[in-house]
Chain A
Amino acid sequence: MSDAGKALEHHHAHHFDSAEHEFEASKQGMWLFLVTEVLMFGGLFVAYGIFRGLYPGMFHEAHEMLNVQLGALNTVVLITSSLTMALAVNATQTGKRERALWCLGLTFILACCFLVVKYVEYTHKFHDGLLPGAFFTNTELKDPKAPLFFSLYFLMTGLHGIHVLLGMGVISWLLIRTKRREFSPEFYTPVELVGFYWHFVDLVWIYLFPLLYLVG
């Protein structure tokens, strides 16, 4: 058996026949997990759709309090991070460890940027009293239903933000493991799967941005 073969054996659990077998199973598991994520966010999107249908005028008025420039900036940031993530997966698959480290690092930094921008936006909303439900104190918006828009805004971007945070956690875990030379063209399952996850997080934002910032 070749050296590569030995590295393979090291990585697959006893109940799988081969590393390939384990990789296929892990990939299927990840896809199923992403399906559950779609359905969880789906609940929020349905709530959004229903209330927008009920109060279209209020949605139009309330959405103008959001900062489209910052939202657009964050969209660019996240899409770029998806690109760097894809490059990181490719670099790992082809055994370019240095490049993988750089790409993962960049993805991490872009995720940070996203959250910093989100922080700026949130602080601004807090300052203006644009808070969910009963905490809403803004006097500019006349529609009594306006707090509902900000409930949805904070819930949807908040849940998404938590996903970004979790993504940063797993990306730093990948960084550590790449640094320890644990991945190779024969074994790169975690990198590929985190890649799936990260693209999903990006995709959710691509829906959130027009629905919340560009309603008008």
Chain B
Amino acid sequence: MSNHSTGAVAAPAGRNYLNHPKGIMTWLITLDHKRIGVMYLFTVLLFFAVGGFFALGIRLELMKLGREILDANTYNRFFTYHGAIMVFLVIIPAIPAAMGNFVLPILLGAKDVAFPRLNLASYYIFIIGATFAVLSLFLRGADGGWTFYTPYSIRTNTTVILVLFGAFIAGFSSILTGLNFIVTIHKLRAPGLTWARLPLFCWAIYATSIIQVLATPVLAITLLLLCMERILHIGIFDPALGGDPVLFQHFFWFYSHPAVYIMILPAMGIISEVIPVFSRKPIFGYKAIAYSSFGIALIAFIVWGHHMFVSGQSELANFVFSLLTMFVAVPTGVKVFSWVATMYKGSIHYYAPMLYALGFLELFTIGGLTGVFLATLAIDVHLTNTYFVVAHFHYVMVGGTIMGMMAGLHYWFPKITGKMYSEKAATIAFWLILIGFNLTFFPQFILGAQGMPRRYWSYLPEFTDLNRLSSVGSWFIALGFLYVAYYVWDAMKHGKNAVANPWGGLTLEWQTSSPPPTENFLETPVVTAWPYEYLPENITMPVNQG
């Protein structure tokens, strides 16, 4: 591209990060951020399948009244594992650790992240944490939900402590990744890559990393205290020993609410990259999108009390948290309007990444708006712990983060694998997932508004029809993702080779070969322009012939 002077030449003799050096051991001890990113990606997708299995179990059980396939105790374990695995082992690492690791240094024109050894250590810390959590599956399981509320989590006779300890360890992986990325963005930008030219994905990852670094240590100490509570009965969270179980909720949500933005901000970063490329138009409101990420990160830390409106907080605290929570809608709205304005009068190409970005816009907007309902005190008191809440956060986490992750996976698939996927197959899978998602979760808004509580093993007879609809929807989602797994595998085996820049993108990752050489660029790129300047001469888009 005319905007960059880069070493856009193929590496010598087709040598790239995937095939050189060879052998499984070179992967396991690699310091290359791209390989570490790919290892994260595989691990995260594996856990996505496991978490999805538990979700299907939950929905199958709720097909009809009373017992279908699971007894009540097994059902409790199912929703606990579904939540804990999806949150700690999938959604939190999915975009920053997997895709961020792969793309961020390339977007910056760097050879690697600032601390490559720390990066590899983060991966193995994550694996150790995950191993503890999975180990509990084979012992006495874990129940009580992914939030581990006290005092139940102190009293239950399941092996919940292993899940707690696993999440504690995995948290350090998240902290170190965030730390690594902040330093990388500060110190390793290519010559000419000023802050004002930084791709929006980097801004989003920066804001995410700040939350990871500031919030995760609080989760670490909270989970450690809860482990101590179970081993030594220290009494901090145990009312029988003078402790305060609500303190646990404060601690937990002080992390876990910002964690919601650890999940969504990177997805927003991907959407900000995909929409201008597939609309062939410069991004609208670059600065507004960049700054609003920090707005969200800041507000993230002062809204945790909205999870505790009925936990016995003072009315004043409830009122303040309610008001502050509504402020989240402002920077979020800034982003949504900027994306829509980018598409306005653009030349929109409905390739899979763009389809997922549009899916994101639809689902995330519903999820975000229902978040404002839930922030409203009078409504929340009625809706607390109902399926309305379940539907809301699935619209945000799945409709937001997973849609963003899928957009990113398709967008960067040619770069990561060097192959093209089948656009037709991807379109079919997208519609299966989108329709399945709405079938599954939209009825849950209605169920919740009618008063069906979450986490119950059974329900009143009048809720049967909507629950059936929801369960049928979950099969569509499963089918969609299985199809994705199939065509991705097929593309890696038989797909056409990808060119360096299949989408006509202007950011740096498209200026190197697909897949990139180990050192990313044969010579350090020099950035001379903003990466969203889609000019008339590059307005036509290369066709995906996958």
Contacts and interface: CB of A to CB of B under 8 A. Distances in A.
A44 B220 CA distance: 11
A25 interface: yes
B180 interface: yes
Interface string B150-190: 00000000000000000000000001000110110011100
Given A29-B180, A132-B232, A35 B214 contact: yes
Interface string B106-149: 00001111111010000000000000000000000000000000
A148 B116 CA distance: 43
Interface stretch (B243-251, B343-351, B374-382): B243-251
B333 interface: no
A5 interface: no
Interface in A1-54: 13-16, 21, 24-26, 28-29, 32-33, 35-37, 39-44, 46-47, 50-51, 54
Contact of A36 (B118, B213, B222): B213
B232 A148 contact: no
Interface stretch (B52-60, B234-242, B355-363, B486-494): B234-242
B112 A15 contact: yes
Given A36-B179, A47-B225, A135 B112 contact: no
B217 interface: yes
A36 B175 contact: yes
B221 interface: yes
A147 B187 contact: no
B247 A24 contact: no
A55 interface: yes
Contacts of B221: 40-44
B15 interface: no
B232 A37 contact: no
Contact of A145 (B111, B220, B225, B242): B242
Contact of A148 (B113, B118, B182, B242): B242
A32 B183 contact: yes
Contacts of B8: none
A46 B304 CA distance: 16
Given A43-B225, A133-B234, A50 B244 contact: yes
Q: Which of B188, B214, B228, B241 has the most CB of A within 10 A?
A: B241
A28 B183 contact: yes
B20 to A, nearest CB: 16
A14 B111 contact: yes
A147 B221 CA distance: 20
Contacts of B180: 29
B233 A134 contact: yes
B217 A40 contact: yes
A28 B187 contact: yes
B293 interface: no
Given A28-B187, A29-B115, A29-B179, A155 B217 contact: no
B233 A135 contact: yes
B235 A151 contact: yes
A29 B119 CA distance: 12
Given A44-B221, A155-B225, A15 B233 contact: no
Interface string A51-73: 10011000000000000000000
Nearest to B114: A25
Contact of A21 (B175, B182, B187): B187
Contacts of B247: 47, 50
B116 to A, nearest CB: 7
Contacts of B236: 47, 51, 148, 151-152
B471 interface: no
B216 interface: yes
A24 B218 CA distance: 27
Contacts of B251: 43, 46
A157 B424 CA distance: 61
B217 A37 contact: yes
Nearest to A143: B242
11 contacts: A15-B112, A33-B179, A37-B217, A43-B251, A47-B247, A51-B244, A134-B233, A134-B235, A151-B234, A151-B236, A152-B236
Interface of B: 110-116, 118, 175, 179-180, 182-183, 186-188, 213-218, 220-222, 225, 228, 232-236, 238, 241-244, 247, 251, 519
Interface of A: 13-16, 21, 24-26, 28-29, 32-33, 35-37, 39-44, 46-47, 50-51, 54-55, 132-135, 144-145, 147-148, 151-152, 155
